[in-house]
Amino acid sequence: MMTTNASFTGWGCCFDTVTTGGNWTPEEVAHDINYLEMLAAFLALKSFEGTISGKHIKLMVNNTTAMTMINQIGTCHSGENNQLARQIWEWGISHNVWPMVVHIPGKENTEAGKESRLSGRETVWTLQPSLFKAASDKLGVIRGIDLFASRLYNYHLKPYVAYKPDLDAHAINAFHVLCC
């Protein structure tokens, strides 16, 4: 079971006892809330890909329009939303993940809701790319992996280790390294 939520700040999810989320890019936040709720569900699924592959997932969202659009693989009212619903199912099929989307009242969706409203991430810091390269070169460090980065903010290398489950295929989630 996984809960997801979207706000105009970002997205969040809770899977078992592990939470994750992130902020939207300027392009993403320009979409309507129904699209963002579906995108939050998609990003949540991708973040836990290694754990949920080969499983049926009860995906709980607090937006009935997003629930219906994903379950019905689209709606006739919005081409963008239809396309996203289709991408979710195509990704699910290719990764052997089968979501069953159900409604959860917003007041019960506390953990995912809290994650979706975080405006600043506690691990968001980075060196300027030129300083990173200069320091690595001066120290003779072979750059092979970046530590504690995320898809939007601060990775210099791929792969990178993410503080929380991260949807980028090049991320190595610290949660999986430590727990699984």
pLDDT tens digits for the chain (180 residues)?
999 999 999 999 999 889 988 888 889 999 999 999 999 999 999 989 889 999 999 999 999 999 999 999 987 688 999 999 999 999 999 999 999 999 999 999 999 888 888 865 555 566 677 877 788 788 887 767 666 566 665 666 667 666 566 655 444 454 444 333
Cα distance between residue 20 and residue 123, in whole Å: 13
Is this model's pTM higher than 0.85 or not? no
Cα distance between residue 99 and residue 163, in whole Å: 25
Contact assessment for residue 179 and residue 165, using Cβ atoms and an 8 Å cutoff: no
Cα distance between residue 53 and residue 100, in whole Å: 14
CA distances in angstroms from 117 to 21, 147, 162, 167, listed in the order given? 9, 24, 19, 18
